[in-house]
Structure 1
Amino acid sequence: MASASESQLGQLLGGWGEAFNGLQVLIVTYAFSVIGAILILIVGWSISRLLGRWVRSLLTRSHRVDPTVVGFFSVFVRYAVLVVVVIMVLGQFGVQTASIITALGAAGLAIGLALQGTLQNIAAGIMLLVLRPFRVGEYIDADGVSGTIQEIGLFATELKTLDGLYRMAPNSQLWNVPVTNYSRLPERRHDLVIGIGYEDDIEKAQSVLMDLARADSRVLSDPEPWAYVSELGDSAVAVTLRYWTKSADWWTTSREMTKAAKIAFDENGISIPFPQVTYSGSLDVEPREPEKTASEQAQ
């Protein structure tokens, strides 16, 4: 009995010894891999944070880059570095990184195809924020989508219409069409066209319009206002006053100038005719005798 117990004890100790020897071999074999992986993680984490801060600082100094883009790119750079770090760590333990990269590429392609419309809006949002065809507070018209810009996001742009309505437009819809920005340039031109009668004094009408332009402080002296005959219409002579104002004053000035022109023309006896048609000859039509039917003609 004693010899059997000693034999079992010896086998147990031998198994433990083999396991310990295997653990030693495993530690010696992967010690450098573990240490290298830890160092890669520490260094990679530090580099990702430094690069993120550097990108944020670089983009913040540029006045052409929107704050939304600054945060997006800084976070994107940081996580891109972390992905590379994780792949390098897996490579330290003998994992085939090529297969991981292939799998990530396939997953990215599948996600891209599934979210094609969303990614298109994100790409358009980034381009809008970088190139900045419009900014917050500016009034635009983009193929029927018009309003004052309230916020430019990565997915959509928020606008406020002239009648106080809220409108959200996908970024791709604003990026793929021509955009007219009514607020970007500091000065804007207006052509005030008024029709006068053919019997009225053209020189007097032009003089009245020029006096109105010179009397309004919102009308710029450079470029100088100009009054001229633009068209000889069917019922009136079109006299145009061309002047420039600050973009912020354009709407108010154009409306008030139109009203002032009507009042001034009335005071100076200049008529503003309405469309009319002149007939030559008499409008009287002689009554026609109704035609007889075949039975009546036979009688």
Structure 2
Amino acid sequence: MLAIFRPFRIGDYVTLSGMEGEITDITPFRTTFKQIDNKVVSVTNDKVWGDPLVNHTRQTRRRLDLYFDISYDDNMDHALETLLGVANGHPRVLAKDETWVGVHALADWSVRLRLRAFVATPEFVQVRADITKGVKEAFDREGISIPFPHQVNMAYRPPAQHTSEQASQSDITDTED
């Protein structure tokens, strides 16, 4: 099946069986790829054919989807303008008129914003890192906070149990006749 449909070629960067890497070898029985940390993974072709497969390099451009959280106290419009400015200010972002920012969700402790921008496929990882760093720096400069969940630990202490001696002493009261 792989020989007929050819969903990837040697050198393509794919997500396969839940793992990512660059295809290094294709045989009639196995497909081998190298992960970004230099681990070599070999998968049987029946697994390749039966599982979802994403070929990240088949297209010349790839869309970044990044999410950033801001506080409910922050100005959403200002944060969205800041995101758009960082993305469109990056020299490797393609089709600046297609860059999109918006509110993705109202989460438990934050407003989640989403950024979409197109980049050349080989530059995807570096541009993603650059934009993430740029957004953090811009948010700091603009006074936009990035919240994180807080945990409050409360300890329950049951009321002290009175001993029979304490109970009998507490029952005695001084009264004046």
TM-score (norm 2): 0.81
Higher strand residue share: 2
1:270 aligns with 2:144: yes
Superposed, 1:70-81 pairs within 5 Å as none
Q: How far, CA to CA, are the matches of 2:163 and 2:144 in structure 1? A: 56
- Look up the SS of the partner of 2:37 in the other structure: coil
Larger Rg over CA atoms? 1
1:250 alignment partner, one of 115, 124, 135: 124
Deviation, structure 1 residue 145:
4.7
1:194 aligns with 2:82: no
Higher helix residue share: 1
1:224 aligns with 2:95: no
| Structure 1 residue runs without a partner (length 5+) | 1-126
Contact 1:129–1:152 (8 Å) recurs in 2 = no
Deviation, structure 1 residue 277:
6.0
Q: Measured at CA, do residues 296 and 197 of structure 1 come closer, stay the same or move farther in structure 2, by a change above 3 Å?
A: closer
Structure 2 partner of 1:289: 160
Deviations 1:57-79 (A, max 9, x none): xxxxxxxxxxxxxxxxxxxxxxx
Question: Which structure is higher in RCO with an 8 Å CA cutoff and minimum separation 6?
Answer: 2
Deviations 1:143-184 (A, max 9, x none): 235421112122322211211122222222212222111111
1:213 aligns with 2:87: yes
Q: Measured at CA, do residues 285 and 166 of structure 1 come closer, stay the same or move farther in structure 2, by a change above 3 Å?
A: closer
Q: How far, CA to CA, are the matches of 1:248 and 1:132 in structure 2? A: 21
Q: How far, CA to CA, are the matches of 1:284 and 1:148 in structure 2? A: 51
Superposed, 1:1-299 pairs within 5 Å as 127-221=1-95, 224-276=98-150, 288-292=159-163
Deviations 1:10-68 (A, max 9, x none): xxxxxxxxxxxxxxxxxxxxxxxxxxxxxxxxxxxxxxxxxxxxxxxxxxxxxxxxxxx
TM-score (norm 1): 0.50
Q: Measured at CA, do residues 199 and 297 of structure 1 come closer, stay the same or move farther in structure 2, by a change above 3 Å?
A: closer
How many residues in Structure 1 have an aligned counterpart in Structure 2?
168
Q: Measured at CA, do residues 144 and 241 of structure 1 come closer, stay the same or move farther in structure 2, by a change above 3 Å?
A: closer
Contact 2:62–2:119 (8 Å) recurs in 1 = yes
Q: Measured at CA, do residues 222 and 286 of structure 1 come closer, stay the same or move farther in structure 2, by a change above 3 Å?
A: closer
Contact 2:88–2:96 (8 Å) recurs in 1 = no
Contact 1:141–1:179 (8 Å) recurs in 2 = yes
What amino acid maps onto 1:165 in structure 2?
K
How large is the RMSD of aligned CA atoms in angstroms?
A: 2.8
Contact 1:138–1:184 (8 Å) recurs in 2 = yes
Q: How far, CA to CA, are the matches of 2:57 and 2:6 in structure 1? A: 13
| Poorly superposed stretches of 4+, deviation over 3 Å | 283-287, 295-299
Structure 1 partner of 2:172: none
Contact 2:64–2:128 (8 Å) recurs in 1 = yes
Contact 2:10–2:23 (8 Å) recurs in 1 = yes
Q: How far, CA to CA, are the matches of 1:173 and 1:149 in structure 2? A: 15
Deviations 1:54-111 (A, max 9, x none): xxxxxxxxxxxxxxxxxxxxxxxxxxxxxxxxxxxxxxxxxxxxxxxxxxxxxxxxxx
